[in-house]
Structure 1
Amino acid sequence: MRENRRFSTVVTAVVTQIVAAGVFLAICADSAICAPGEESWGAKMFPVKRHNFGRVALQANAEYVFELENIWEEDVRIVGVYSSCTCTSVSVNTKKLKSLEKAEVLAKLNTTGQHTKNVGATLTVILETKTRNKERGGENILHDEVQLEVKGYIRPDVVMTPGVVEFGSVPLGKSVSRLVRLEYAGTNEWQLTRMLRSSPYVYARAEEVRRANGEIVYDVVVTLNRKKDAPEGYIRDVLHFVTNETPVGQKEPTALTLPIQAAVVSPLQAKPSPFLIGVLHPGEKVMKSLVIRNDLPFRVQSVTSPDKRFRFTFSDQESPVHMISVLFATGSPDQASPDTSPLDNGENIAQKIYVRTNLDEDEPIVVDVQGRLFPASPENVSVTDREPQPEPPVMSTPEPVVRFTAPSLEATEEAAGSTGTSDSDSGNHGEGRAVRLAFKPPSIESGLTNAEHEAVGARSVSE
């Protein structure tokens, strides 16, 4: 009976495995994601699954990025990540991957002093995807777990401050430096022998500043872009500090690591430049936008101008594009900068706006401002602002006065049927001659029309 039961149990287990395999094959029949092989479909997405941090100083920033790529046609979702030890934390930068998209799983050692010497952890990444089933229809959900291994040795006798060199965003063509202090507590024979780096744009110089009673201190100056030839883009490097120690069982001397991170960016661009505020009159305001742009996100720290009539509004959040609201309100002359140029008919506004960002605090962006302020004109001044003027005296309008000169009469002679000439000396008066009296109009001093002139003249003659 016992043998029959044992045989029945074995048969049941085998049948269960066969059925499960059949279901799995049916689910994956329409997808290459379930192709047979040594690795699972999730493990094939990770080109690297193990990392050794080596010897790490206290307070050092020991990080490593495991990259994964969705090599399948179906979308893959990262359901979760967790670590088997508090000596290592783990995080992921994105949770959904379409075909050929990549993600990063970040592993970070805890170097605060809670864990020292040999440490290690297993990082588990849970993946999920959906496949189509032609036979049954609909979709099937597949899960997979991928284990990543990390280990290292956290030295309790070496402290590095800071634990990572963060240059942040560095303008193209500029060289910057950071100071790192390396402290050792142990024997007086301990010393740095050399420093190694991979990037040609990173330079380091170490100087011993203390050696007494087993305490040894080095100041390390790390310089990025010393020759100012670093191209635009991200720079990630690790500086290795090689000492004169050779641990038991190892052939190579001990090396401490210091991560270096930087982003070389193109210069910031300000538009419009010059910044034109137009023509204004007293009491008027103008508001315009100033745009600051860069390839990488940055933060605006301050916006100032020597002219107190400017007001600025901006966001302090990181963004590749910042829009600064600029308000110019005409005010009293004492608010203007001494650099303003007074004119006979107004003020020539030629100012500057200084924008400071976290990319380059020492050298702000300078934007030229141009405009014109005209003085107040009578049309722009209210009645209450005008000075009182004396009222003109009231004068009655006189009646027009017409003065006439005495009319004059001139005598002209015309021959009446005679061709003889007149002879004033002769005694013949009135014979063969006609005398006509011609009227000469009077002179008029008032403004009358010609018709009125003739009427007045005719009246004078009749009188």
Structure 2
Amino acid sequence: MRFRSWSAEPRPATCWPKAPAATFTARRRWTGSGSPAAWPASSEAEATLQGGGFAVTRARFLLLGFLGVFFAIPADLAASDDWPRRLFKTTSHDFGTVARGAVAEYRFEMENPYIEDVHIERVESSCGCAHPTVTKRLLKTYETGAIVVTLDTQRFYGQKDTTLRVVFDQPFRAEFRLKLSYYIRPDVVFQPGTVQFGSVPQGQSVKKRVTVSYAGRTTWKVLDAEASNSHLDVALAEVERTTDPRTHVGKVTYDLVVTLKDDSPPGYLKEFVVLRTNDPNQQTARIPLTVEGLVVPSLSVHPAVLLFDVVRPGETISKNLVVRGQKPFRILEVEGPDPRFRFTIPKTASQYRSGDSTYYGAVIAVEFHAGDAPGKVSGKVRIQTDVAGAAPLEVSVSGQVAAPTLQKIDRPGTHSELKNPGR
């Protein structure tokens, strides 16, 4: 059994997931031979010890509630195998219509709300068309992970309803099922199956081309293509339309160009371009195409957080900040959170080479003069450059100035007294 003493402060995890710490109701889990037994969620409880051959008669445990005895996973949840449900944000997903050859992926996000560690032993798929992987098998309290499912759209097609069987072996053995549904169109093929921009410097525009092929109705058309992000441009053009004279099967090819605009903000990008077709079935008329990329800032600074250990009064600490850019730049001004910070700014950025790539860097020397005032040091260092349109770079500051040390000294012929050596 695992106990948590009561406190008026909120606890990370109590006897059931994220329950308020002010909940006084006592719950108790017995572990031993036989199945767990739980005391009901009330001040009056009745429990039977399994395997002991005797019973505890009805009694009131209101006092235990005020003493604040908390347990991690209630026994009623452990016995029902339903406790894994609270790990998942979603337990089902519908991919909708997926083109053959397209990259289709979904993440079942998890978070452990319990005190006990949760461990996933394995994940099994009911269909070879869905491949699950676990990003993190062991989750401690409030740690997060995911079960990532990737569809095999090359070898499978048609309507699929798949079950993922998730097997847990900690803190209790349990099984939980996640549901997937999707329709893989055999008549529409994307080549390549996804738009991958890779790493793109901020301010640069990149284009990627995808070939959309169809085999079926002679009248089939893509009516339009729309992006879910305003920083993406989409251009669609029909390049071929033929009919097989023997089978009368129509073949259509489109050229799809996706452009990442030069005004895209820095950060990771994952969006969809949706093709809208003239299929009479509205459930299959819209076909998504995944778009991914990483926009790298034109300027970056390292480290992102300037950390000071505990600094003695009057001490001076030196640190460095490195500003890096894709093009030449100058640092115009550096501002600290208070006058105790001083900066030495280089006149220009130096050029460096890393493999086949070239970049520019500048090192800012930072000095922090602690002074005599104790307390926490926090705030932002702001760096202004001459790069057009670039926002000032910011670095968080965290540190502590210690209080002056008091020493006990003895003087001949006098009583002992406390003295501040800094005065």
TM superposition score category, shorter chain reference: 0.5 to 0.7
Aligned partners of 1:212, 1:19: CA distance in 2, in Å?
70
Q: Do the aligned partners of residues 33 and 294 (structure 1) sit closer, same or farther apart at CA in structure 2, a change above 3 Å counting?
A: farther
- The alignment partner of 1:100 has SS state of coil
Aligned partners of 1:261, 1:184: CA distance in 2, in Å?
24
What TM-score, normalized to structure 2?
Answer: 0.54
Aligned partners of 1:34, 1:244: CA distance in 2, in Å?
54
Q: Do the aligned partners of residues 245 and 47 (structure 1) sit closer, same or farther apart at CA in structure 2, a change above 3 Å counting?
A: same
- 1:143 maps to a residue whose letter is R
Q: 1:96 aligns with which of 112, 121, 138?
A: 138
Which structure has greater strand proportion? 2
Question: Are 1:230 and 2:264 matched, yes or no?
Answer: yes
Aligned twin of 2:180: 150
Aligned partners of 1:124, 1:110: CA distance in 2, in Å?
18
Aligned twin of 2:37: 22
Task: Tell me by how many angstroms 1:265 deviates.
Answer: 1.9
Task: Tell me by how many angstroms 1:356 deviates.
Answer: 5.1
Deviates more, 1:37-46 or 1:255-264: 37-46
Contact 2:81 2:174 in 1 (8 A): no
Correspondence list, 1:329-344, <5 A: none
Task: Tell me by how many angstroms 1:22 deviates.
Answer: 2.3
Aligned partners of 2:293, 2:324: CA distance in 1, in Å?
16
Correspondence list, 1:420-435, <5 A: none
Question: Are 1:34 and 2:68 matched, yes or no?
Answer: no
Aligned partners of 1:82, 1:162: CA distance in 2, in Å?
28
Aligned partners of 1:102, 1:155: CA distance in 2, in Å?
34
Q: 1:263 aligns with which of 285, 290, 294?
A: 294
Aligned twin of 2:280: 246
Which structure has the larger Rg over C-alpha atoms? 1
Contact 1:207 1:220 in 2 (8 A): yes
Aligned twin of 2:164: 123
Contact 2:210 2:255 in 1 (8 A): yes
Task: Tell me by how many angstroms 1:51 deviates.
Answer: 1.2
Aligned partners of 2:223, 2:166: CA distance in 1, in Å?
40
Aligned twin of 1:196: 226
Aligned twin of 1:221: 257
Contact 2:96 2:283 in 1 (8 A): no
User: How many aligned positions are there?
Assistant: 254
Gaps spanning 5+ residues in structure 2: where? 1-32, 40-46, 51-68, 244-249, 303-321, 326-349, 363-423
Contact 2:120 2:166 in 1 (8 A): yes
Gaps spanning 5+ residues in structure 1: where? 1-17, 131-141, 272-291, 296-350, 369-463
Task: Tell me by how many angstroms 1:352 deviates.
Answer: 6.8
- 2:258 maps to a residue whose letter is V
Contact 1:91 1:105 in 2 (8 A): yes
Contact 1:355 1:366 in 2 (8 A): no
Q: Do the aligned partners of residues 237 and 39 (structure 1) sit closer, same or farther apart at CA in structure 2, a change above 3 Å counting?
A: farther
Task: Tell me by how many angstroms 1:203 deviates.
Answer: 2.0
Which structure has greater helix proportion? 1
Identity rate, percent: 32
Aligned partners of 1:205, 1:152: CA distance in 2, in Å?
27
The superposition leaves residues 375-434 of structure 1 with CA deviations (integer Å, 9 ceiling, x where unpaired) of xxxxxxxxxxxxxxxxxxxxxxxxxxxxxxxxxxxxxxxxxxxxxxxxxxxxxxxxxxxx
Aligned twin of 1:45: 87
Question: Are 1:56 and 2:56 matched, yes or no?
Answer: no
Task: Tell me by how many angstroms 1:61 deviates.
Answer: 0.5
Aligned partners of 2:135, 2:105: CA distance in 1, in Å?
14
Aligned partners of 1:36, 1:230: CA distance in 2, in Å?
51
